[in-house]
Structure 1
Amino acid sequence: MGAQKGKDLLLKLDSTGEGSFVTVAGLRSKRVAFNSETVDVTDADSAGRWRELLAGSGVQRAAVSGSGIFKDAQSDALIRSKFFAGEIATWQMAIPDFGIVSGPFQITSLEYSGAHDGEVTFEMALESAGAISFAVVA
């Protein structure tokens, strides 16, 4: 896989709850991180006193973040309403030449900033709130 354009990494929100996804407009940077906690089962009988982990037992989660400028009234309103209502909604992250990650997420942070000589920018963070799926893009 060669280098990919960052603008092709898309964050989309299910606008109706029925699978109608809207791209979050104005995002200049996006990031998705997958994490898995470990369960330590080391005891006095562990070989050589090396730590032992229990396979497949840790909590998994995905975190998504992005920053940019608001450009689209529809996605702006959706993000604000989802945040202030504390709703969990279905989101998609399209990753070029990798696939589509989708599932329930909650917006955990929504920040606005702006300099006197520039545009208003925003940053947002989402945390997974259930099982995440992955589909390969053909």
Structure 2
Amino acid sequence: MGAQKGKDLLLKVDTGMPGGYVTVAGLRTKKIAFNSQSVDVTDQDSAGRWRELLAGAGVQRASVSGSGIFKDAQSDTKIRENFFAGSIVNWQLIVPDFGTLQGPFQITALEYSGSHDGEVGFEIGLESAGQISFTVAA
């Protein structure tokens, strides 16, 4: 896989309507992070007193963040509604030449900002709220 254009990394929210997902408008930066907690099972018999971890036992999670310019598009409305309702809805993150991640997320941060000589911007943070699936790009 060669270098990819950052603009091709897409964040999409489920609209709950026929046609499904809509791309979050105005995003300039997007990031996804995967984390897994470790479970320490070290005891007095651990070889060389080195820490030992229990495979597959920790909680996994995914975090998505992004920032961009406010466009007041269909996706902006859906984001506002989901944030204020505390909803957990399906989202997709499309990584070019890699695949699509999909699953339930909750918006944990939504910030708007602006300066007197610039555009209105926003930042969004999402946390996984269930199992995330991955489909390899065709």
TM-score (norm. length: structure 2): 0.97
Q: Distance in 2 between matches of 1:119 and 1:36?
A: 37
User: Which residue does 1:125 correspond to in 2?
Assistant: 125
Cα deviation, 1:81-123, whole Å, max 9, x if unaligned, reads 0000000000000001110000000000000111110000000
Cα deviation, 1:42-97, whole Å, max 9, x if unaligned, reads 00110100000000000000000000012242111100000000000000000011
Question: 1:91–1:102: 8 Å Cα contact kept in structure 2?
Answer: yes
Identity of aligned residues (%): 74
TM-score (norm. length: structure 1): 0.97
Amino acid in structure 2 at the alignment position of 1:57: A
Cα deviation, 1:6-33, whole Å, max 9, x if unaligned, reads 0000000000166700000100000000
User: Which residue does 2:93 correspond to in 1?
Assistant: 93
Question: 1:13–1:24: 8 Å Cα contact kept in structure 2?
Answer: yes
Unaligned runs of 5+ in 1: none
Q: Distance in 2 between matches of 1:17 and 1:11?
A: 17
Q: Distance in 1 between matches of 2:62 and 2:131?
A: 10
User: Which residue does 1:47 correspond to in 2?
Assistant: 47
Q: Distance in 2 between matches of 1:49 and 1:18?
A: 57
Displacement of 1:2:
1.0
The reply to whether residue 36 of structure 1 matches residue 41 of structure 2 is no
CA RMSD, Structure 1 to Structure 2 (Å)? 1.1
Question: 1:17–1:89: 8 Å Cα contact kept in structure 2?
Answer: no
User: Which residue does 1:57 correspond to in 2?
Assistant: 57
What is the number of residues matched between the two proteins?
138
Amino acid in structure 2 at the alignment position of 1:92: Q
Q: 1:85 to 1:135 in 2, by over 3 A?
A: same
User: Which residue does 2:68 correspond to in 1?
Assistant: 68
Paired residue secondary structure (1:2): coil
